[in-house]
Structure 1
Amino acid sequence: MGQVLDNISQFADEIRADGVEGDKLMRLTDGSAKRLRDAGVIRMLQPKEFGGLEAHPREFAETAMAIGAMDGATGWVSGIVGVHPWELAFFDRKAQEEVWGTDPDTWMASPYAPMGVARPVEGGYILNGRWSFSSGTDHCDWIMIGAMVGDESGKPLMPPKILHVLLPRSDYDIDQDSWNVVGLRGTGSKDLIVKDAFLPTYRTLDAGKVFDGTAWKEAGRTETLYKFPFSCIFPLGITSSLIGIAEGALACNMAAQRERVTVSGVPIKEDPYVLFAIGEAAAEIAASRAAILETVDRFWDMTEKGQEVSFELRAIGRRTQTAAAWRAVRAVDEIFARSGGGALQLNTPMQRFWRDAHAGLAHAIHVPGSIFHSSTLSQLGGEPKGIHRAMI
């Protein structure tokens, strides 16, 4: 077990308790956010020269899983906000100094989806737009978001050019009423609004260079961590937290079933059908965990040896990751259906794990269609085009 996971695991009971409160607040509690900061969770993929740990992505994934098993929303924020320091390592040094210079525990929210337009002006851009689903945003002092480059009138260029850009808290508003959902409520994934914010060029990064693996070269990074494929590390935190949620649901079920007796008077321990179903679900969750960790280890070893992780391999990796998420949530459904009516009670954690699992599966990173298409076509010697290359 890594040091960060050791640090955060000692607060498991507090994180579970605060998960109930966060579900009501529609954001992480201040206590949960402080525990993540103090444990170093968000600094795991951060450069060492700015107080980061430069941890192996596997350790990052296992930490997100463990936290997700304590509370889904806390794990989700860990997995999403925890990836942003990895990408900030590619930005201009001046931008890194602005964010981390006085406080290495400064957090950045997202999303990367290009929901706004950056209009070129002297020295940079003027940014306008509204971005949805900014997880953990109430506890962040900066945002790292996607934007389309526009022309002088603010109309997006075609073909599109996408930037990832940085803005401080003073340059955007959070719509506090925009997050009222059924699952992952505690993530506080609210809307961001930007109106005519000036964006200096040094706080922008060509998203295409992040995706294709050239950003680290231009940034002069030589560490294996920063050569690692974006299409593996960005989904990693999200899917890992989701698998952790499934593991939390399984643990919750096991604890409740030990002494449970059905209405017909049969102890669950003596019901072969329930035992089979839960055993199969547990195997599926374990397979999900093993699958994404194997991909991480294999890609890491290749990267460390200087070997290219080809488009075909990356597409297969994304297929593995996406399938792992679906497999884990289907297993949660099997568990929930056999947990009895008591699992429906709002004072039990089981119903929250179930809600959080389904909310997590709805993330765009878990949409299987184009990913499965691209991975199979690549293996058949074809060349995926356009949308079928996105996020791979």
Structure 2
Amino acid sequence: MPNPVLDAVEATAEEISAQGSANESRGKLSDAAAKLLRDTGAIRMLQPKTHGGLEAHPREFAETVMRIAGLDGSTGWVAGIVGVHPWEMAMADPKVQQEIWGEDNDTWIASPYAPMGQLRPVDGGYIFNGRWQFSSGTDHCDWIFLGGFLTDAEGEQLQPPQSVHVILPRADYEIVEDSWDVVGLCGTGSKDIVVADAFVPDYRVIPFSKVIDGQAPEEAGLENPTYHVPFSCVFPLGITSAVIGIAEGALAHHMAYQKSRVQITGTKVRDDPYVLSAISEAAAEIHAARSALLENACRNYDTVAAGRAVSFAERAVGRRTQVHAAWRAVSAVDEIVARSGGNAMRMDNPLQRFWRDAHMGLAHAIHVPGSVFHASALTELGIDPPPGPMRSMI
């Protein structure tokens, strides 16, 4: 299917790639990189058409994120993270959508969703406090989604816990400078966020339960199947697409470097059947990871487009596929790097940056296999749904 955003990415591919080292040295996307990403329209792919968005198929979004990440890991990561936020904003109160996109439909929204804040009720809304880590691309965003828990009027957390997503304008939170000092994805600028006694009106709060169970898009009257794909399928999609794209970028840089490389034994790489076999196997693994993730996205979309909800068991298997795809791709990158020679690890060779970025991306909580694999196995044994926290993010 046609993908004009992907076409725009291809038209500026060399420019996006050229910003990689600048992003890393700045610890955030350079202004030039952010403008290039903004101009492609990638962040508006899942945005509602009522506010200038494309309401794209999740597969198109994933393919675009992969390509951007293959050019520069940090730019692709921001595309995958920030690009998902308009999807949820489509479910928010029209009043806050107008506040964000009314004057500029290219306004970006940051996160994280981790429930690290406390939301205390007051007249007309809430008072919000908390601190969060890992707000990717936040320097280029003017609004933010932040996760939190509701409390009573005295500030005691409600039981059972009630998780919410809170929407704040840039004036209501602080970005903590020098809070992003990491080994990989340095250019994402995933800094800490602090909120201190911010007033949040009622209409800027979304119960997470309504997002995770699909009630939010129904109440918002959204018709496009993209918005009825479960949150636990859409949110990981952007992140894992970036990781697989980074793996594809590592492979591309490896192949470019190996074309003329002569090993210490005097053998040219193109004449070494053992290295060539390993490279081919790694390339096949990365391609398989890509195919699995895209097929997963299509299956979820087709299910809701047919008018059927994605069951817990289907979501669990889908999450297993997504997590395994990330691990599969990064393992393949390790095989590539192990056969690249010591010079590939010099800081002027982009391959080492892609290698570091891949491992940093794999460390995201959405890629932890334990509970996801456990839950998936239990559902296939007829225990559906499984007990307790294994249901989290599935």
**Partner SS state of residue 379, structure 2:** helix
1:115 corresponds to: 116
**Partner SS state of residue 148, structure 2:** strand
2:43 corresponds to: 42
TM superposition outliers: structure 1 runs of 4+ over 4 Å? none
2:213 corresponds to: 212
1:39 offset after TM fit, Å? 1.2
1:387 corresponds to: 389
1:275 offset after TM fit, Å? 0.8
Code of the aligned partner of 2:321: T
What residue ranges of structure 1 are gaps of 5+ in the alignment?
Answer: none
1:153 offset after TM fit, Å? 2.3
1:4 offset after TM fit, Å? 0.3
2:156 matched to 1:182? no
Code of the aligned partner of 2:391: R
**Partner SS state of residue 192, structure 1:** strand
Code of the aligned partner of 1:235: P
Code of the aligned partner of 2:393: M
1:10 offset after TM fit, Å? 1.5
**Aligned counterparts of 2:9 and 2:276: Cα–Cα separation in 1:** 32
Which range is displaced more, 217-226 or 150-159?
A: 150-159
2:67 corresponds to: 66
**Aligned counterparts of 1:21 and 1:299: Cα–Cα separation in 2:** 37
2:96 matched to 1:95? yes
2:164 matched to 1:163? yes
Identical aligned pairs, as a percentage?
62
**Partner SS state of residue 120, structure 1:** strand
**Partner SS state of residue 302, structure 1:** helix
2:30 corresponds to: 29
1:152 offset after TM fit, Å? 1.8
2:255 matched to 1:254? yes
2:334 corresponds to: 333
Code of the aligned partner of 1:385: P
Which range is displaced more, 146-155 or 325-334?
A: 146-155
**Partner SS state of residue 374, structure 2:** helix
2:284 corresponds to: 283
Correspondence 1:168-247 to 2 at 5 A: 168-247=169-248
**Aligned counterparts of 1:268 and 1:222: Cα–Cα separation in 2:** 54
1:2 corresponds to: 3
**Partner SS state of residue 167, structure 1:** strand
**Partner SS state of residue 163, structure 1:** strand
1:24 offset after TM fit, Å? 0.6
**Aligned counterparts of 1:20 and 1:156: Cα–Cα separation in 2:** 44
2:370 matched to 1:372? no
**Partner SS state of residue 74, structure 2:** helix
The CA deviation string for residues 244-287 of structure 1, in whole angstroms up to 9 with x for no partner, is: 00000000011111111111111111111111111111111001
**Aligned counterparts of 1:27 and 1:17: Cα–Cα separation in 2:** 15
Aligned residues: CA RMSD? 0.8
Code of the aligned partner of 1:162: S
2:264 matched to 1:263? yes
2:360 corresponds to: 359
1:203 offset after TM fit, Å? 0.3
**Partner SS state of residue 27, structure 1:** coil
2:304 corresponds to: 303
1:328 offset after TM fit, Å? 0.4
2:107 matched to 1:128? no
What residue ranges of structure 2 are gaps of 5+ in the alignment?
Answer: none
**Aligned counterparts of 2:342 and 2:379: Cα–Cα separation in 1:** 46
**Aligned counterparts of 1:183 and 1:159: Cα–Cα separation in 2:** 37
**Aligned counterparts of 2:285 and 2:50: Cα–Cα separation in 1:** 40
**Aligned counterparts of 1:184 and 1:378: Cα–Cα separation in 2:** 35
The CA deviation string for residues 111-167 of structure 1, in whole angstroms up to 9 with x for no partner, is: 000111001111111000001000000000000111111122223222210000100
Code of the aligned partner of 1:230: F
The CA deviation string for residues 199-250 of structure 1, in whole angstroms up to 9 with x for no partner, is: 0010000001101111111111122111111111110010001000000000
**Partner SS state of residue 235, structure 2:** helix
